[in-house]
Amino acid sequence: MFFSKSDKLLFYSTLPLIVGVLGILLILSYMILSQSWPSFQRFGFAVLTTSAWSPSDDPQREFYGLAAPIASSLYVSILSVLVSLPISICLTLTLIEILPKYLGAPLRYVTEVMGGLPTVIYGLWGSTTLAPFLRDQVMKPLHDYLGFIPLFSCRPLTGHSMLAASITLAVATTPYVTALLIEGYYLIPSKYKEGAYSLGATDYEAYKIMMGILKPYVIAASLLGFSRALSETTIVALTVGNSMKLSLCLFDPAYTIPSLIANQFESARLYEYALPTLFAGALTLLLISLAASYAGIRLVYGWRERIHV
């Protein structure tokens, strides 16, 4: 197995790190599962399929259901990806292909820096600036004129809503998704672009071919962006309105799992089943997030093998 002593040394010195990473994931999963277990024992799977948050000093009268925050988490995250993905695709093409290098390169750094900003900054901007703006300029007109459509049927109040959370999340995740797409675009061997141009393709046709090659990577980046949006806490806690409500209407406030945990964690310690229920939410989040990330990473690996044939 080993060609030399140094190979062997390298393998055994990195082994604890590999085991450590897997170990942390297993310990985390076990901890969350064991902490959430009392909630599953008490409510069964109803904790995931019903909507309620009724704490009580008498454990027999406590009742919790996470369907609304789970659904809102998915709704807000999917919406944010739907907003950020087309912007990220356009940004990728613009930064790499359309802008001259002396403009594209510095703007790429700016995009990367924006991806590293503390999320609380986006959250504060979303809460104090974007939400009121959306309420007055977008939500109210949409409700007034298109209120018969279920998505716009509820009257906007403070502006803090699933729409505000989705758009703030989209703004925050766009640099991340763009960075992924730029990385993917550069991974495409130049022989394909040369192939397109040598057949007489125009710039537009060549970009279209390159984006076609990138498509599986775009899906993977969306899944990773979705996973990131799903687990985002601060931004959502500051913009989503924090209300235990199951609604399709974009202007309604809601709770996502991370915002529910952030808002209720301290008080949940006072009740027997509230904290285990928050852990049940965290477990659901972990499973969805792991599944999305795993699917995204598998897609990227398969894609890399295909393009490097």
Partner 1 sequence: MSLYAVEVEDLHLRIKGVEILRGVTLRVRRNTLFVLMGPSGSGKSTFLRTLNRLIDFVDGVELSGLVKVLGQDIYSVDPYDLRRRVVLVSQEPNPFPHMTIYDNVALPARLNKIVRTKRELDDLVRWALEKVMLWEEVKDRLKSYPHALSGGQRQRLCLARALAAKPEILLLDEPTANIDPVNTIKIEESLKSLRDEVTVIMVTHMPHQAVRVADHVALLHSGVIVEEGPAMEVFMSPKKEVTNEFLRGAL
107 within 8 A of 99, measured Cβ to Cβ: yes
Give least dist CB 78 to partner 1, A.
25
Considering beta carbons, is residue 137 or 202 the nearer one to partner 1?
Answer: 202
- The set of long-range contacts for 288-293, using a CB threshold of 8 Å and a minimum separation of 24, is 288/74, 288/227, 288/230, 289/227, 289/230, 289/231, 292/223, 292/224, 292/226, 292/227, 292/230, 293/223, 293/224, 293/227
80 within 8 A of 259, measured Cβ to Cβ: no
Give least dist CB 188 to partner 1, A.
9
End-to-end CA distance of the chain: 27
Considering beta carbons, is residue 154 or 196 the nearer one to partner 1?
Answer: 196
Considering beta carbons, is residue 17 or 309 the nearer one to partner 1?
Answer: 309
Give least dist CB 195 to partner 1, A.
4
Give least dist CB 174 to partner 1, A.
25
Give the position of tokens 């996502």: 256
Considering beta carbons, is residue 151 or 219 the nearer one to partner 1?
Answer: 219
Considering beta carbons, is residue 165 or 213 the nearer one to partner 1?
Answer: 213
Give least dist CB 129 to partner 1, A.
41
Considering beta carbons, is residue 136 or 205 the nearer one to partner 1?
Answer: 205
Applying CB under 8 A, the residues found at the interface with partner 1 are 189, 191-192, 194-202, 205, 209, 212-213, 215-216, 305-307, 309
Considering beta carbons, is residue 41 or 202 the nearer one to partner 1?
Answer: 202
168 within 8 A of 235, measured Cβ to Cβ: yes
- The set of long-range contacts for 35-40, using a CB threshold of 8 Å and a minimum separation of 24, is 35/275, 35/276, 35/279, 36/276, 36/277, 36/279, 36/280, 36/282, 36/283, 37/276, 38/272, 38/273, 38/276, 39/64, 39/273, 39/276, 39/277, 39/279, 39/280, 40/276, 40/280
CA distance 9 to 12: 5
Phi, psi (degrees; rounded to nearest 5) at 252: -80, 145
Six-digit token string for 224: 């990773």
Give least dist CB 212 to partner 1, A.
5
Give least dist CB 197 to partner 1, A.
6
